[in-house]
Structure 1
Amino acid sequence: MLNSTDVISYKKKGYDGAKYIKLQQEKILERIGKFSNGRLYLEIGGKFMYDQHAARVLPGFDPETKKQIFMSLKNQAEVLFCVNADDIIENRQLSNENIPYKDYVNKMIRGIEAALGLRPHIVINKIDTTSMYDMILDFEKEFQRKNYRVWERYKIMGYPHNLKSVLSEDGYGNDDHIPLTKNLILVTGAASSSGKMSTCLGQIYNDHEIGIESGYAKYETFPIRNIPLEHPINLAYEAATADIGDYNMLDPYYKKATGKDSVNYNRDVEAFEIVMDIAKQTVKPDNFMNNYKSPTDMGISTAGFAITDDEVCCVASLQEIRRRKGRYQQQIDRKEGEQSRISRCDELEKKCLEYIKEKKYNENLKID
């Protein structure tokens, strides 16, 4: 059984990786240009540099694609690496290696530095100075001894809906304002709930307070927006996130604005209104963020424009759903997983087979 970090060597290709890199680079540069009086805070969805899932469902996609894109932009970029204070305190386990949270963070940061030659800033989110703050300080000191710059951001009463509290000296105004000099800020994190979006919005608020008009965008690979909601590639993404309960959906804001369909996923749709409410009360009216009418507009995602053989990608995605189901079964066998994940993969596999049958594709096509 393959691990989530494994890559398959496909003989048949269904994806033009070079075209995707070119398209994504162009769109990022275009978006940077929209914030010429400030910075673009680009939240990186999914893995920061190595995307093995994409390589498995899009035969022809290089798992180091993001690394290549970021390398081409490194001269105008800085990196913010977000961690959650609660994860520090709870020593959250983020890998099968059973290593302490701080060691996992150190490993990830070292990897970014080695790959890109950029030394990340470390941003600690959701700090409560009244509860186990000494553990946070110990974490900070450990990384400061390694010459990393560490910044603090604090829990905000009523976040994110109490905007009066959020957009005040006791809210974002109380956080460290990270001094940055480049116009592209790549914002990543140790895991889910690391506070990436909040870090971006807090920086935009504090930039605005000193006359810098920055903006936010989201780099996403999946779900792919310009293919059907129940396309096997998008179904495989749902299988990959069955353990955290994410699901794909049509972007209702995009539909309202354009009359067209665009696929997004639940967390970005849920976050969109929060982002725009904060933006409207923070940035100037001519800030490009005010042009966003939907999560689709907010995103930078060109993955769907480089598919060259839909059948190959569909078969690869079907195989990935089955692999995910196998891994979830292994977790159950170890008494670590939940049966609901298997059931979800069964549903996704059924939909995938229906799509393949409708398209008259060969589900047994030999691609590896």
Structure 2
Amino acid sequence: MYLEIGGKFLYDQHAARVLPGFDPESKKVIFASLKDQTEILFCVSADDILENRQLSNQEVSYKEYVYRMLRAIEKQTGITPHIVINKIDVVDRFDLILDFEKEFQRKNYRVWERYKIMGYPHNTKSILSEDGFGNDDHIPLTKNLVLVTGAASSSGKMSTCLGQIYNDHEIGIKSGYAKYETFPIWNIPLNHPINLAYEAATADIGDYNMLDPFHKAAYGKDSVNYNRDIEAFEIVMNITKNVVAKTNFMNTYKSPTDMGISSAGFAITDDEACSIASLHEIQRRKGRYQQMIDRGEGKESRTKKCDELEEKCREYINSKKYTLDHQKDL
């Protein structure tokens, strides 16, 4: 089974900041206990390699950030990840992608290539073909549980999972997909401060939360998800219809929300504390984006987005009559 891991893999600082009391190392403890039956795929984006995407408040290159994460995963789980480079365009500075690949191969990592597909994620006929997923490297794996993580959001984790399932099927291997995702929290309001803070965290790639239309159609209930998973669900439906066996557990998925494993919303005991913490997180993210702008590396649209999110967050806090000094007593 391919289990996509949303958020930070080893130490989830964002979750700890917006959910006071959340253990930021909880995922790591679980993963380390499963090391004998687990492999890890670590996804990076060709776009991020070419743009040297900044993923730290410090001035650290994307390549160096990736290497630090890989070393930390090896040290703390005992598993050496495979590296998967997603969204490669062979006519766009492919020499830089090859340089990245060769450098990590010299460090004894196995590196795999997956290519940009025109019309992704909507052109499912092309995606589920030899010219789509069939054109990617098929990663040989030996363990039953494959954890799929990445350097950051929009690194191609879901695409990697679905592409592997397609190529597994082509050679007679049965496999499936699920997602361990903390944010957005599906069973709290769309404009809850926690979910707004998630949007602030992904303002650099333009992600946004939305109600899951598939969940509403299937169950008549509102559920919060985000744009990229909802857009990609058409691929999941086509894989369940045309690729995997009828007995595959993926056939139970009626919505993107169904794919996820998350009980975080049920664990919230102090909504006020979480709401105030989320407001502070939006403000923190705005400050980080402003620092990037000051260095000539960011876009004003990101700070503007945070201003809009902060306004919605304050509206929620005021509607609940929460006090901004609530956290001082925690």
TM-score when normalising by structure 1: 0.80
Tell me the residue number matched to 1:240. 201
Distance in 1, Cα, partners of 2:306 & 2:53: 26
CA contact (8 A) 2:121 2:231 kept: no
How does 1:217-236 map onto structure 2 within 5 Å? Answer: 217-236=178-197
Unaligned runs of 5+ in 1: 1-39
The yes-or-no answer on 1:150 pairing with 2:111 is: yes
Cα 1:314–1:99 shift into 2, 3 Å: closer
Query: How far apart are residue 227 of structure 1 and its match?
Result: 1.2
Output the aligned Cα RMSD: 2.5
Q: Of the two structures, which has the highest relative contact order with CA contacts closer than 8 Å and spacing of 6 or more?
A: 1
Distance 1:69 1:309, change over 3 A: same
Q: Looking at CA atoms only, which structure, 1 or 2, has the larger radius of gyration?
A: 1
Paired position in structure 1 for 2:164: 203
Percent identity of paired positions between Structure 1 and Structure 2: 78
Matched, 1:306 2:264: no
CA distance in 1, matches of 2:64, 2:29: 26
With over 3 angstroms needed to count, the CA separation of the structure-2 counterparts of 1:272 and 1:114, relative to structure 1, is same
Tell me the number of residue pairs that the alignment of Structure 1 and Structure 2 aligns. 329
Distance 2:226 2:130 in 1: 33
Tell me the residue number matched to 1:50: 11
Cα distance in 1 for residues equivalent to 2:54 and 2:291 = 18
Distance 2:109 2:282 in 1: 40
Structure 2: 5+ residue stretches without partners: none
State the alpha-carbon separation in 1 of the partners of residues 73 and 206 from structure 2. Answer: 28
Q: Quote how far apart the aligned CAs of 1:113 are.
A: 0.6
The corresponding residue for 2:317 is: 356
Assess if the C-alpha contact under 8 Å between 1:312 and 1:367 holds in 2. no
| 1:290 and 2:256 matched | no
Q: Residue 177 of structure 1 is aligned with which of 129, 138, 150?
A: 138
User: TM-score scaled to structure 2, two decimals?
Assistant: 0.89
Q: Distance in 2 between matches of 1:113 and 1:171?
A: 31
Aligned-partner Cα distance in 2 for 1:148–1:354: 48
* Alpha-carbon spacing, 1:261–1:98, altered in 2? closer, same or farther (3 Å): same
Q: In the alignment, does 2:30 pair up with 1:69? A: yes
Taking a change above 3 Å as real, the CA distance of residues 226 and 120 of structure 1, as seen in their structure-2 partners, is same
Pick the aligned partner of 2:151 from 182, 187, 190.
Answer: 190
Q: Give the letter for the 1:289 counterpart.
A: M
Counterpart-to-counterpart distance in 1, 2:284 and 2:55: 21
Offset at 1:160? Answer: 3.9
Paired with 2:94 and 2:83, the residues of 1 have a C-alpha distance of 17
